Amino acid sequence: MTLWETLLDPFGYQFFVKGMGAAVLAGALCGLIGVYITLRGMSYIGHGLSHAIFGGYAAAPLLGVPIVLGAGVWGLASALAINAIARSRRIGADAAIGVVTTASFALGVALLTRFGTKGPAFDALLFGSINGVADSDLFLLAGALVFAAGVFTVLYRAFLFSTFDPEVADVSGVPVKRMDALLMLVLSVSILATLKIIGVTLVAATLVIPAVIARMLTDSFSRMLWISTGIGATAGAIGMYLSFQLEIPSGTTIVLVDATVFLVVLAVTGGRALRRAGGLDDHTDVAATPTPLVGTAR
């Protein structure tokens, strides 16, 4: 077998081709939505929701509910619980995410350990897997990507304004609360669709790293969307290929490819690009200089 044949060998297996398609779609989806998540400072919510949905994945088969439906409802309920606890102002939003999502994750681990699973294997859910990608998974991923791309295209201006300056957007007639709710819905659907490929523990990285790299490479919001989506899709493809060749979980290889691209871009562009991405969700004016208010009598 020649080197070329060896390299192309995986494409002879249908399960690999399906896995590759799923990884590209998952990477593109996470890269696209990651732009909004990182610019809004919501990276921790992505991390938390993926852990919360894990509980739903474990519980749904035991309750006789389809996994996608059960995990989806579970994730949405977790998001609402986080919102309710955070709104009570007794504890902060970050603590609310920590409590709800880790409890849900722990419940998922307990249920899977005690009762096993009729769905994806335990370690596949945690770290992603190339195996067992069904047509239905591909349809779910493609549907989620079309849904997200449609929402972000049609409501491009409203999402841009409410991400940059929610207070003024609200005053200017943009329904900011509805936009936030819609973004949470897109995020939940995206995490649900990608969990099998990328895994609970690594979804957050695929949301954040491509968007951060894109921010390092451009000062344009629209270009950032394209670059982040492209990096996500490419990392998905390369990661899935490496997963097959090295027999390592696909989520792990996809994230390692993302991280490698980050390091390469950092090495090439230097500190200037990192500074650009450094204040990704800052809301401070670095150029401002304080001025005295009134004169003081001597």
Partner 1 sequence: MTSTAGALVTVTGASFGYDRSPVLLDVDYAVQPGEFTGIVGPSGSGKTSLLKLLLGTVRPQRGRVDRQPGVAVSYVPQLETVNWNFPVTVAECVLMSRSTRRLLPWATPTERAEVGEVLERLGIADLSRRHIRELSGGQQQRMFIARALLRRPQLLLMDEPTSGVDIGTRHEVLHLLDDLNREGLAIVLTTHDLNGMAAHLPHLVALQKRVIAAGPPAEVIVPDVLERTFGARMEVLHHLGMPVVVDTGEPVRLRPVAG
Q: Would you count residue 286 as binding partner 1 (CB under 8 A)?
A: yes
Cα–Cα distance measured from residue 214 to residue 235, given in angstroms and rounded to the nearest whole number: 13
- Our finding on whether 269 is near partner 1 (CB under 8 A) is no
Which residues lie closer than 8 Å to 295 by C-beta, 6 or more apart? none
Give the DSSP per-residue string, 65-122. Answer: --HHHHHHHHHHHHHHHHHHHHHTTSS-HHHHHHHHHHHHHHHHHHHHHHH--SSS-H
Contact between 271 and partner 1 by CB under 8 A: the answer reads no
Q: Which one of residues 26, 160, 184, 205 is an interface residue with partner 1 (CB under 8 A)?
A: 160
Of 9, 25, 67, 68, nearest to 236 by C-alpha is 25
Instruction: Work out whether 182 is an interface residue with partner 1 (CB under 8 A).
Output: no
Binding mask 51-70 for partner 1 (x = CB under 8 A): --------------------
User: Is the separation of the CB atoms in 131 and 190 below 8 Å?
Assistant: no
Distance from C-alpha of 87 to C-alpha of 77, rounded to nearest angstrom: 15
Q: 170: how many CB neighbours lie within 10 A of its CB?
A: 15
**At closest approach, how far in Å is the CB of 240 from partner 1?**
29
Cβ contact 72:189 at 8 Å: yes
Which of 235, 196, 273, 242 lies closest to 31 in space, CA to CA? 235
Print burial letters for 99-128: b (CB count within 10 Å at least 16), e (below 16).
ebbeebbebbeebbeeeebebbebebbbbb
222 near partner 1 (CB under 8 A): yes
Q: Which is nearer to partner 1, 198 or 208 (CB)?
A: 208
221 binds partner 1 (CB under 8 A): yes
Binding mask 32-51 for partner 1 (x = CB under 8 A): -------x------------
172 is a site residue for partner 1 (CB under 8 A): yes
- The stretch near partner 1 (CB under 8 A) out of 6-14, 115-123, 132-140, 285-293 is 285-293
Task: Give yes or no for a contact between 70 and 58, defined as CB atoms under 8 angstroms apart.
Answer: no
| Residue 171 binds partner 1 (CB under 8 A) | yes
Select from 3, 173, 271, 272 the one that contacts partner 1 (CB under 8 A).
173
Query: Smallest gap, in angstroms, from Cβ of residue 13 to partner 1?
Result: 40
Interface with partner 1, residue 154, by CB under 8 A = yes
The SS3 call for residue 133 is: coil
Q: Does 106 bind partner 1 (CB under 8 A)?
A: no
List the one residue from 224, 231, 237, 257 that touches partner 1 (CB under 8 A): 224
Shortest approach of partner 1 to residue 26 CB, angstroms? 24
Q: How many residues bind partner 1 (CB under 8 A)?
A: 47
3 touching partner 1, by CB under 8 A: no
Residue 280 touching partner 1 (CB under 8 A): yes
Only one of the segments 58-66, 116-124, 230-238, 290-298 lies at the binding site for partner 1 (rule: CB under 8 A); that segment is 290-298
- Residue 92 as a binder of partner 1 (CB under 8 A): the answer is no
Q: Which helix (H) or strand (E) holds 184?
A: helix 176-198
* CA dihedral sign of residues 50, 249, 211, 7: negative
Please give the residue ranges that form the binding site for partner 1 (CB under 8 A).
39, 153-158, 160-161, 163-165, 167-174, 215, 218-222, 224, 276, 278-291, 293-297
